[in-house]
């Protein structure tokens, strides 16, 4: 926690009970030196909401007992670090460490806790309350793609010709971070060109399952089963109906006959299904020839704000769906599978895949595995290019957020720590060398 968060007055009240009588409440005021960090006071008011404190009495006497503890939270810390970059030779960490999973399993066995209720997706049913969320996620994804196509007509986005790095700005950044082919000959420099929408919204695909509880996809079936965007497949399994990609909908839970075997329940005795309420309209992507840039600066700002809202709606809704509908990701490559268990296709080409015979190392996926944010450098001033010597002073943000910010949208509060708005950028290299 930064010391600047302590430049405030914190008052705590403790009620002391001594031999059956109460004393008057005593107020203790903790004052910090107001001369510290005056330069970042304005940013502290925006990003830091407080400090977590605990007041405890260490007296061994039983006559004194504190009855109140003050806690002040800091919801938006300053200068938050980006997610760690993992090379191709490293395996992704598990969302929950194995040690904690084993400890929780031992506690359940020790305490003999009752089994949890089986969620509907595990018995073949659809959660009706999440069907509107699935439609919102589907439409939000289409809105983000269509709006980005229009914003890229007015906001310059560059992409490296040799690696997958992109930069939002009229000129590419000068940092030597290229890991593409023949990068050593170029000494790590990028060769910038015009980026496309696929560079910003990663086209992450997954196999479409007609029955998500059916048999796992074998290696021989890898070309016969269609692949669609992973977010779209998640929405289909959560209740979105797309005629081009049919899926099996059950009205009664399955009947387990073994550990991994089940049969479908007899639905002939059920009455005819009631007519469903009208589904929300589904958006479609705009073809490239029909994309038109915004006509005015006001329209550009409104378009950027709408894109940010749709981006957050898509991520928040997808996170809700992932809590009920399992999503798997390979620990070695970006392959994603929407279903309770991963497929058996031996198409993993990550580091040392020969030792695994091309099989994937499936584990539970997180939100960034399903919707990669694609972090880019934040440009404080579009008219001035970034300087290589001042790299440690610049922040980063997802590419969608950076495009919308440069188009005129307001910066969301949750992205300010990584964009380093409270860091003063030196005006020259000589001034940067004086920074302690």
Report the 3 state secondary structure along the chain: CCHHHHCCCEEEEECCEECCEECCCEEEEECCCCCCCCCCHHHHHHHCCCCCCCCCCCCCCCCCCCCCCCCCCCCCCCCCCCCCCCCCCCCCCCCCCHHHHHHHHHHHHHHCCCCCCCCHHHHCCCCHHHHHHHHHHHHHHHHHHHHHHHHCCCCCEEEECCCCCEEECCCCCCCCCCCCCCCCCCCCCCCEEECCHHHHCCCCEEECCCCCCCCCCCHHHCCCCCEEEHHHHHHHHCCCCECCECCCCCCCCCEECCCCCEECCCCCCCCCCCCCCCCCCCCCCCCHHHCCCCCCHHHHHHHHHHHHHHHHHHHHHHHHHHHHCCEEEECCCCCEEECCCCCCCCCCCCCCHHHHCCCCCEEECCHHHHCCCCEEECCCCCCCCCCHHHHHHCCEEEHHHHHHHHCCCCCCHHHHHHHCCCCCCCCCHHHHHCCC
Q: Name the more confident of 36 and 417.
A: 417
Q: Name the more confident of 330 and 272.
A: 330
pLDDT for res 159: 94
pLDDT for res 32: 40
pLDDT for res 267: 83
* Residue that the structure tokens 């015979």 belong to: 357
Q: How confident is the model at residue 110 (pLDDT cuts 50, 70, 90)?
A: confident
Question: Does the pLDDT value for residue 41 go beyond 70?
Answer: no
**Under a CB-based contact definition with an 8 Å cutoff, are residues 333 and 89 in contact?**
no
pLDDT for res 258: 81
pLDDT for res 5: 41
Q: Name the more confident of 387 and 6.
A: 387
pTM: 0.79
What percentage of the chain exceeds 70 in pLDDT?
Answer: 82
Q: Name the more confident of 303 and 87.
A: 303
Mean pLDDT score of the chain: 82
Stretch 217-242: mean pLDDT, rounded? 95
What percentage of the chain exceeds 90 in pLDDT?
Answer: 51
Contacts (Cβ under 8 Å, ≥6 apart) of 118: none
Question: Does the pLDDT value for residue 54 go beyond 60?
Answer: no
Stretch 301-315: mean pLDDT, rounded? 96
Tokens of 41: 């006071």
Stretch 121-139: mean pLDDT, rounded? 94
pLDDT for res 69: 56
pLDDT for res 16: 39
pLDDT for res 322: 96
Q: How confident is the model at residue 358 (pLDDT cuts 50, 70, 90)?
A: very high
Question: Does the pLDDT value for residue 68 go beyond 70?
Answer: no
Length in residues, the chain: 436
Residues 23 and 4: their CA atoms lie apart, in Å, by: 35
- Bridge partners (DSSP) of residue 337 are 328
pLDDT for res 80: 77
For the ranges 265-274, 294-303, 326-335, the lowest mean pLDDT is seen at 265-274
**Under a CB-based contact definition with an 8 Å cutoff, are residues 10 and 72 in contact?**
yes
pLDDT for res 75: 56
Q: How confident is the model at residue 66 (pLDDT cuts 50, 70, 90)?
A: low
Stretch 207-223: mean pLDDT, rounded? 93
For the ranges 4-8, 353-357, 426-430, the lowest mean pLDDT is seen at 4-8
Question: Does the pLDDT value for residue 29 go beyond 80?
Answer: no
């Amino acid at each position: 926690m930064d010391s600047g968060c302590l430049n405030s007055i914190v008052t705590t009240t403790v009620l002391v009970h001594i031999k059956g009588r109460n004393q008057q409440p005593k107020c203790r005021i903790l004052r910090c030196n107001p001369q510290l960090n005056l330069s970042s006071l304005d940013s502290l008011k925006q990003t830091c909401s407080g400090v977590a404190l605990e007041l405890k009495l260490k007296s061994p006497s039983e006559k004194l007992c504190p009855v109140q503890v003050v806690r002040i939270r800091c919801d938006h810390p300053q200068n938050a670090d980006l997610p760690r970059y993992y090379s191709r030779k490293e395996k992704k960490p598990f969302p929950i460490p194995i040690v904690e999973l084993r400890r929780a399993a031992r506690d359940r066995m020790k305490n003999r806790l009752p089994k949890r209720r089986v969620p509907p997706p595990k018995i073949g049913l659809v959660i009706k309350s999440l069907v509107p969320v699935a439609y919102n996620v589907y439409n939000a994804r289409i809105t983000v793609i269509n709006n980005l196509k229009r914003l890229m007509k007015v906001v310059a986005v560059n992409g490296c010709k040799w690696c997958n790095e992109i930069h939002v700005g009229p000129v590419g950044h000068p940092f030597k971070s290229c890991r593409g082919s023949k990068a050593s000959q170029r000494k790590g420099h990028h060769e910038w060109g015009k980026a496309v929408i696929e560079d910003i919204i990663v086209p992450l695909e997954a196999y479409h399952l007609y029955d998500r509880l059916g048999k796992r996809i074998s290696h021989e079936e890898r070309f016969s089963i269609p692949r669609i965007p992973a977010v779209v497949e998640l929405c289909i399994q959560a209740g979105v109906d797309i005629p081009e990609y049919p899926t099996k909908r059950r009205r009664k839970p399955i009947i387990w006959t073994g550990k991994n075997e089940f049969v479908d329940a007899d639905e002939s005795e059920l009455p005819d299904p009631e007519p469903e309420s009208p589904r929300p309209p589904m958006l479609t992507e705009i073809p490239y020839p029909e994309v038109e840039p915004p006509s005015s600066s006001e329209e550009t700002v409104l378009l950027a704000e709408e894109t940010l809202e749709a981006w957050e709606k898509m991520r928040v809704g997808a996170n809700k769906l992932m809590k009920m509908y399992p999503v798997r990701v390979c620990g070695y490559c970006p392959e994603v599978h929407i279903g309770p268990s991963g497929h058996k296709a031996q198409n993993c080409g990550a580091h040392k895949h020969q030792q695994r015979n091309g099989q994937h190392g499936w584990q539970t996926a997180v939100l960034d595995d399903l919707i990669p944010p694609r972090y880019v450098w934040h440009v404080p001033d579009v008219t001035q290019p970034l300087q290589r010597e001042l790299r440690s002073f610049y922040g980063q943000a997802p590419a969608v957020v950076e495009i919308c910010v440069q188009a005129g949208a307001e910066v969301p509060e949750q992205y300010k720590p990584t964009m380093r708005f409270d860091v003063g950028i030196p005006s020259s290299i000589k001034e940067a060398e004086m920074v302690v």
